[in-house]
Chains A and B, each alone.
Chain A
Amino acid sequence: MNVVIDHERALERSGDRSARTSTVVRFAGDSGDGIQLAGVQFARSAADGGAWLMTLPEYPAEIRAPAGTTFGVSAYQIQFGSGEVLTPGDEADMLVAFNPAAFITNIDFLRDGGTVVIDEGTFNARGFAKAKLGADPVDESAAARYRTIRVDISRRTLEALEAFGVGRRDAMRARNFWALGLALWLNEQPTSACERWIAERFAADRTIADANAAALRSGHAYGETMELALSQPLPVLAKTKRASRARMISGTDAMALGIVAVGALSARPVTYCSYPITPASALLHALARMPEGVRTFQAEDEIAAISAAIGASYAGTIAVTASSGPGLSLKTEGLGLAVAAELPLIVVDVQRAGPSTGMPTKPEQSDLDMAVHGRHGESPVAVLAPATSEDCFHVMIDAARLAIRAMTPVIVLSDAFLANAVSEWVPPDIAALEPVLTHDAATPGRDPDTLVRCWVAPGTPERETRVGGLEKDRASGNISYDPDNHEAMVALRAEKLARAAGVVGRPTLHDGPEDGDLLVVGWGSTFGAIRQASRNLRGRGHRIAHLHIRQLWPLPDGLGDIFERYRRIACAELNTGQLTRILRAETLRDVRPVSQINGRPFRIDTLEAALGGIIGDAS
């Protein structure tokens, strides 16, 4: 039976918050208001102050929707705190709404008792009309539910910038810094990190730099002068927890670094071929900026992107292509060729809500079936999924090791949340990373242990060969239509992948008791929510563990044995039960699906309620 999450019921369960160790801040406004920038700068400031954090940018697919409309609202949420922060937070403690449209589309994210800051300058008849509202949406009768700080951010920004001689238009652009200054004050965060960034970013134009800094300080000073404070006390932040090497990183940036790391660790150039698609394009942008070691190629279509990557792999470089849902559909033809020609290839799918164009900026985990099964012929490929932004770095190295060891494609399933979410990362010491070994020195023929043929690139003397998509003789590599040989080759392609799977260092991540009443299985970006929800349930006395699978195909060895140690197995994923069905088929256990498919990451509280329901949690 499918457990569909009941959000209403989950909300009733949200428990005592007095012991909270973190705060959630959310900015919302027009996509042209600089919301993402304000959010990122808030996160930097909090990180600079010693906080752990995680962020969630949410932006519409429209680039610049008409100002003030509900469909043009962009938002950025940050959870920061003194302890490990695993998600961007279920609900916001504070919401900054730049206009009525942002208010009505985001107020439901504010928890009961939270604080909303609204820009009164936009809360007028014109603003209400743009958001298709008849009247002021701030319901004073809801005062019991949240506290409202009304401040005319627009007017105050203009006043603060009067002395700088910037035009009204430019001055209005600094609204986000004014609001950020106030948000930093309310959350007892310093403005220094942001001021440093402004000085660097606008170094070429002192007037703009000074104006933005003035707006920031003015917002901060306003909070101080008016003695504003949040309605609930802030958690005390530990200032010394973070290592000095720590930096903030998004999944996309971590993945880009992982890709170039493979090049450095294998001493081969990287060729990255892709076609623009949301949200995978960000990876192309990040790699195009790399100073060396990688050649990026913007292909004419998805098929050309994987075809060029296959050519680049054939020619001996580390070849990577990436896309999102519909793009992976187009790449399945190429995947078949890479399997048949036995070439290493990494294919990243930054999943988004589908089918078809679906909701291109919203995360979903609904491409797993396609990644594992969606090809012509018996065409096994490995499928890996990073659990966190940080893991996006490591998973690429794992993918390369696996692809080269088995001389076959590997699909890496990320998603729109993982790609955009930013969290803390302490980068590894390169000296501690094992080299990525290639087969270039190997002798001709198949290795009896790994079953792979060595990677011979054109240009190598005396080794000229012809490869292709036609079935080939197991021993000689020549074209073969022999029935027994084909059967043997089908088995061989699966077997060499199975034998290579051991190179993935941590195929699963386990947390909790070694046996118990419930094992919650998850994969990909749901890591933080599942980990926190299962920990919360353990805190209430339940014997529940969390197993996160990084290597989704072939499934890690011994999974059945682990399952044996738990009375019940549940699988939580952002689809209708795709991993659940695979686990059922492969382990013959009655795995219970916990599904959500609304284009958003799991909330901890709803997940906790759903998992609690499975083990009969009465609290």
Chain B
Amino acid sequence: MTIAAQLTAMDFASTEEVRWCPGCGDYAILKAVRQVLAEIGRPPHEVVFISGIGCAARFPYYLSTYGFHTIHGRAPAVATGVKLANPGLDVWVVGGDGDFLSIGGNHLMHVLRRDVDLNLLLFNNAIYGLTKGQYSPTSPIGTRSPSSPTGSVEPPVNALRFALGAGATFLARSVDAQQDHLPGVLARAHAHKGASLVEILQNCIIYHDGAFGPISEKAHAAEASVRVVHGEQMRFGKDGELGLVFDAETSRFRVARPGVDCAAGEIARHDETDLMRATALAMLGERQGEPTAIGVLHQREPNGAPALRDLGQVAPMRRETLSRLLAAAS
């Protein structure tokens, strides 16, 4: 492909008026995506956004690329079909927690297992927004909503642990409001050949404001989250005064103060390729006092076996071949 001129974020904006609620986290995600698309530099006609149903699923209307707003939960399956037909396209899939983890959970599992070369953006706001605020599969226990007036009793699913179980080869997490972080994660997801899942913690200002607590707040994000970078020590806190130590006995990370609870050298370095530690990282934040890991939690290169990530373009059947098939004895 040739690129005539440097693309800008505005080249990826459609003429459609954006209709999310004022203050919705989706605006920030849209901004980051447009910026990253411009950096990637593929012309808009080679880029396709496929979405399911929900607030997040309106995303394609606000981009100048090709877009297909499909059915609730089915976007990964539709996107797989697009890729089967034309593997050369740059295909992104956008869905919410209901879309990807409830009605479309099966499709997400299989698209990850097959490692179809897609960029899957999970806008997780832990609530059903478009249907007016019911608890979702990622809502914490006790979520009061129109369908759970006394508080929900269902434990939430951890999207990244689910994805690891499905065999995902790229897993990342970021936060809508962290514009110094989200674009970089999106660019990494795009660069990965295979299925890349990015969980974006997204604030629903109407039905679940503050669902992710301090992570979304500038003042507290440094204590509430740990930004993991391949090869670097996993330190967090305002001045890096906190860190993660891997506890081999429990196979989990625990929070420690280097120089106080442990030697500075004991703070673990992040290894994206380590599948077992990725599981431990994905679980961080499930217990009180733990930070939530953000960044690329896991990425591994394909092992070279034939897979759907490496699809070639199918050529139409030649007439001579058809003639031969028709004449063949049964």
A264 interface neighbour in B53, B64, B314, B322, Cβ under 8 Å? B322
8 A Cβ contacts from A288-324 to B: 290-295, 297, 299-301, 303-304, 307-317, 319
> Which residues from chain A contact B318 at a C-beta distance below 8 Å?
264, 292-293
Cβ of B301 to closest chain A Cβ, rounded Å: 24
Residues of A near any B CB (own CB < 8 A): 245, 247-250, 253, 257, 260-261, 263-264, 266-271, 273, 290-295, 297, 299-301, 303-304, 307-317, 319, 333-334, 337, 341, 422, 427-428, 430, 457-470, 478-479
Contact A459-B86, Cβ < 8 Å, known A245-B327, A304-B110: yes
8 A Cβ contacts from B93-125 to A: 106-107, 109-110
B78 interface neighbour in A314, A459, A465, A479, Cβ under 8 Å? A314
Q: Which of B53, B88, B107 has the most CB of A within 10 A?
A: B107
B325 interface neighbour in A260, A310, A337, Cβ under 8 Å? A260
Cβ of B58 to closest chain A Cβ, rounded Å: 9
Residues of B near any A CB (own CB < 8 A): 14, 16, 43-48, 50, 53, 60-61, 63-71, 74, 77-86, 88-89, 106-107, 109-110, 311, 313-319, 321-323, 325-330
Please name the residue on chain A nearest to B317 by beta carbon: A293
Asked if A271 and B322 make an inter-chain contact with CB atoms under 8 angstroms apart, the answer reads no
Please name the residue on chain B nearest to A307 by beta carbon: B77
Contact A316-B110, Cβ < 8 Å, known A292-B317, A430-B319, A461-B43: no
Asked if B70 and A315 make an inter-chain contact with CB atoms under 8 angstroms apart, the answer reads no
Please name the residue on chain A nearest to B61 by beta carbon: A466
State A467–B60 Cα separation when bound (angstroms): 9
A470 interface neighbour in B69, B88, B317, B322, Cβ under 8 Å? B69
Beyond contacts A307-B107, A465-B66, A469-B69: 6 other A-B pairs, Cβ-Cβ < 8 A, are A269-B314, A299-B110, A307-B71, A311-B68, A315-B84, A427-B327
Contact A311-B316, Cβ < 8 Å, known A316-B85, A460-B45, A468-B68: no
Cβ of A554 to closest chain B Cβ, rounded Å: 26
Decide if the interface of chain B is mainly helix, strand, loop or mixed. mixed
> Which residues from chain A contact B323 at a C-beta distance below 8 Å?
430
> Which residues from chain A contact B107 at a C-beta distance below 8 Å?
300, 303-304, 307
> Which residues from chain B contact A257 at a C-beta distance below 8 Å?
322, 325-326
Cβ of A318 to closest chain B Cβ, rounded Å: 9
Asked if A466 and B60 make an inter-chain contact with CB atoms under 8 angstroms apart, the answer reads yes
Contacts A/B (CB < 8 Å), 11 sampled = A260-B317, A263-B317, A269-B85, A269-B317, A271-B314, A292-B315, A311-B84, A313-B81, A459-B86, A468-B68, A470-B69
Cβ of A338 to closest chain B Cβ, rounded Å: 10
Asked if B71 and A315 make an inter-chain contact with CB atoms under 8 angstroms apart, the answer reads no
Q: Which 9 A-B pairs have the closest CB atoms?
A: A293-B317, A311-B81, A468-B69, A308-B81, A307-B77, A315-B85, A458-B66, A427-B326, A466-B67
Asked if B14 and A466 make an inter-chain contact with CB atoms under 8 angstroms apart, the answer reads yes
State A180–B57 Cα separation when bound (angstroms): 62
